[in-house]
Amino acid sequence: MLITRKLKDTIATRLMVIITSGAVLFFVAIGLVLLVKGLPVIKSHSLTELLTTSNWKPMKGQFGFLTFIVSTLLVTLLALILSFPLALLSSIYLSEFSSQKIKKFFMPVIDLLSGIPPVIYGVWGTLTLVPFIADTLAPHFVDFSTGYSLLAGGIVLAVMILPLMISIFLEVMESTPQDLREASLSLGATRWETTTKVVLKRSTSGILAGVVLAISRAFGETIAVMMVCGNFTAMPKSLFDACYPLPALIANNYGEMMSMPDYESALMLAGFILFVIIIVFNTVSWFILKRIKRSL
């Protein structure tokens, strides 16, 4: 009896350790497979050529990623500029100023925003932002815009990364000990002064971690951005021009290119670039957030 129980225990625990190791290896495997698939195109074209030229003519064997990389960076930057102030201000409000009642009402709102699928954001963008930009906004600045633009992509992405930032900001700010707030208030500081000089000062690294995480989420977002950004292979010259981020490039062309090994390899390389950038960003924010949790 004891022996069977012991045996069961040993088998079960061993099996669980194996599954866990498998999951860790899985993450390495994704990177390796993408890299191996991406290597042929690095061999036939140098990495500098791939990353610094913007000629994208797969049929002629030219694979310059620059347009796509610049598009990805611009869309992400725009999303961050639009959503960071909103996220920071509303997190401060919810963490330091609002009543419990308002907060209780607001948390489900953030949950819902983070739960809405990307494709729904895309539909919303095409229905509202695209026509608004094409008909109302763009004519003031440029001659012609279809509305499917850098700006539309940036706005959609901004809304999508809001809930992620808010939830991290809130967690970080709320980890500030109440004693510190009270000490500051009792010295005669107003609540706003307490917020900026005590809470925000203490939360700077955590806020940074949240931003980094939001950037990496924005880099990888595919469907929603692809639906509103135009997907046109040319360097965007204004906010109202179409752009073509890396994930959209993969989504639009993958599956059709199996007959051309270099083309497939180039798209896999794009996937690998995304993978590496996101791992680096996630790792940075992981260590910052871990240090904050440990100091509690």
Q: Please identify which residue in 67, 76, 203, 216 interacts with another protein, judged by CB under 8 A.
A: 216
Minimum Å gap between C-beta 227 and another protein is 7
DSSP secondary structure letters along 234-247: S---STTS-B--HH
Minimum Å gap between C-beta 237 and another protein is 26
Which two tokens mark 8? Answer: 């069961």
In the three-class reduction of DSSP (H, G, I as helix; E, B as strand; rest coil), residue 100 is classed as helix
Which residues, numbered 126-145, are part of the site for another protein (CB under 8 A)? 126-128
Which residue's CB is nearer to another protein, number 50 or number 158?
158
Which residue's CB is nearer to another protein, number 33 or number 260?
33
Hey, what amino acid is at 195? T
Q: Please identify which residue in 51, 81, 112, 260 interacts with another protein, judged by CB under 8 A.
A: 112
Which residues, numbered 15-34, are part of the site for another protein (CB under 8 A)? 15-17, 19-20, 23-24, 26-27, 30, 33-34
Strand pairing report for 56-57 and 62-63: antiparallel
Which residue's CB is nearer to another protein, number 236 or number 245?
245
Which two tokens mark 72? Answer: 């990805």
Mask for 263-282, x = binds another protein (CB under 8 A): ----xx--x--xx--xx-xx
**Do residues 273 and 66 make contact, with C-beta atoms less than 8 angstroms apart?**
no
Q: Does residue 207 belong to the site contacting another protein (CB under 8 A)?
A: no
SS3 track for 120-137: HHHHHHHHHHHHHHHHHH
Stretch that binds another protein, among 71-79, 117-125, 177-185, 234-242 (CB under 8 A): 117-125
Minimum Å gap between C-beta 54 and another protein is 22
Number of alpha helices (DSSP H) and beta strands (DSSP E) in the chain = 13, 2
Neighbour tally for 22: CB within 10 Å:
10
Which residue's CB is nearer to another protein, number 142 or number 208?
208
Which residue's CB is nearer to another protein, number 16 or number 81?
16
Minimum Å gap between C-beta 236 and another protein is 21
Which residues, numbered 138-177, are part of the site for another protein (CB under 8 A)? 159, 162, 166
User: Could you tell me the sign of the dihedral formed by the alpha carbons of 110, 185, 188, 195, in that order?
Assistant: negative
Minimum Å gap between C-beta 35 and another protein is 12
Q: Please identify which residue in 52, 190, 204, 238 interacts with another protein, judged by CB under 8 A.
A: 190
Neighbour tally for 192: CB within 10 Å:
11
Q: Is 176 exposed, middle or buried (0-12, 13-18, 19+ CB in 10 A)?
A: buried
Q: Please identify which residue in 76, 222, 236, 240 interacts with another protein, judged by CB under 8 A.
A: 222
Distances (CA, A) of 272 to 4, 255, 276, 285: 47, 17, 6, 20
What whole-number distance in Å separates Cα of residue 15 and Cα of residue 179? 47
Which residues, numbered 37-96, are part of the site for another protein (CB under 8 A)? 37, 85-86, 89-90, 92-94
State the Cα torsion 178-183-186-188 to the nearest 10°. -110
Size of the site for another protein (CB under 8 A): 81
Stretch that binds another protein, among 14-22, 50-58, 62-70, 235-243 (CB under 8 A): 14-22
